[in-house]
């Protein structure tokens, strides 16, 4: 086993949209609906389907503030959460114990090798990078982190449904803040611009997530050494429907197993 993790907050951080936005407290205000109840629902359903052994080691990739990791740990599993956001990891570390650890780490680079039974990448935490090379390198890194018979779970939005129901402009008032949100599809990405004023200061953030289709994911998995075992269309694990499903959830194994 090789370990590349760093328990440090002094890592050089790229000036990318996801670095700035995910480190902002306003991200968590805007997406307050992504609560513990929602996280527990998907984790309960995935665990019922996957049936992890009681001694399973689980990696939570792009763990955010750790809501999935914490709940998996409450179920008795040994869990490691990684995220590029320093502020998210600082927040999550308050929940650490001997079977729950959090690290600042970039998913594109090696972490623990041949160590985990399951790797989770949930709530559209993939497709942020500029090049397909980075996407494939990330998946290859996920693969390296897994044991020979390990399982990868990736959950993203269903871009096909979003394309057909895209709302170009909206305003959300949350905690007294008016978030002005514009959305568009350009260069194969779903781009969201978020602007607002708070305490007499103007803010502007951006999200850019690749609009991967089912075929795109299968192609990326093939190039990175994975095979899809199951795919679902929502957190109840119903079958995927291109036009109706909210999510696109994959259960993958190493292709050479």
Give helix then strand counts, H and E, for the chain. 8, 11
Cβ atoms of residues 226 and 152 within 8 Å:
yes
* 19 vs 110: which has the higher pLDDT: 110
Element (H, E) at 5: none
* 35 vs 196: which has the higher pLDDT: 196
What is the torsional sign of CA 20, 26, 28, 34?
A: negative
Q: What whole-number distance in Å separates Cα of residue 82 and Cα of residue 105?
A: 6
Nearest 5°: the CA angle 200, 201, 204 is 145
End-to-end CA distance of the chain: 19
What secondary structure does DSSP assign to 25-87, as a single string? HHHHHHTTTS-HHHHHHHHHHHHHHH---TT-EEEEET-TTSHHHHHHHHTT-EEEEEES-HH
pLDDT, residue 18, reads 78
Q: How many CB atoms lie within 10 A of CB 51?
A: 8
Determine the longest span between alpha carbons in the chain, in angstroms. 57
Band (24; pLDDT cuts 50, 70, 90): confident
pLDDT in tens, 228-247: 999 999 999 999 999 999 99
Q: What whole-number distance in Å separates Cα of residue 67 and Cα of residue 150?
A: 22
pLDDT, residue 156, reads 97
pLDDT, residue 9, reads 40
Band (15; pLDDT cuts 50, 70, 90): low
Q: What whole-number distance in Å separates Cα of residue 72 and Cα of residue 78?
A: 8
Cβ atoms of residues 192 and 30 within 8 Å:
no
Provide the whole-model pTM: 0.88
Q: H-type helices in the chain, by residue range? A: 17-22, 25-30, 36-50, 67-74, 86-92, 132-145, 159-164, 214-224
CATH no. of 17-157+213-254: 3.40.50.150
Q: How many CB atoms lie within 10 A of CB 242?
A: 14
Q: Could you state, in order of their start, the residue ranges of all structural domains in the chain?
A: 17-157+213-254, 161-207
DSSP state of 128: -
Q: What whole-number distance in Å separates Cα of residue 85 and Cα of residue 13?
A: 9
């Amino acid at each position: 086993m090789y370990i590349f993790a760093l328990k440090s907050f002094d890592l050089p951080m790229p000036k990318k949209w996801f670095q700035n936005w995910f480190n902002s407290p306003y991200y968590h205000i805007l997406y307050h609906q992504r609560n513990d109840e929602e996280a527990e629902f998907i984790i309960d359903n995935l665990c019922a389907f996957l049936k992890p052994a009681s001694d399973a080691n689980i990696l939570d990739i792009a763990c955010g503030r750790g809501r999935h990791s914490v709940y998996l740990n409450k179920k008795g599993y040994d869990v490691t959460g990684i995220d590029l956001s320093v502020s998210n990891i600082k927040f999550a570390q308050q929940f650490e114990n001997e079977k729950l650890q959090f690290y600042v780490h970039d998913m594109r680079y090696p972490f623990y090798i041949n160590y985990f039974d399951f790797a989770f990448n949930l709530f559209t935490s993939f497709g942020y990078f500029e090049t397909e090379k980075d996407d494939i390198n990330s998946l290859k890194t996920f693969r390296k982190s897994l044991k020979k018979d390990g399982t990868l779970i990736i959950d993203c939005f269903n871009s096909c449904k979003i394309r057909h129901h895209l709302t170009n402009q909206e305003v959300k008032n949350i905690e007294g803040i008016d978030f002005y949100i514009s959305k568009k599809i350009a260069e194969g990405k779903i781009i969201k611009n978020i602007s607002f004023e708070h305490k007499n200061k103007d803010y502007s953030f951006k999200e850019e997530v690749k609009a991967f289709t089912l075929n795109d994911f299968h192609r990326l998995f093939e190039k990175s050494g994975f095979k899809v075992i199951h795919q679902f269309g929502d957190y109840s694990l119903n079958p995927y429907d291109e036009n109706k499903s909210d999510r696109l959830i994959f259960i993958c194994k190493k292709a050479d197993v």
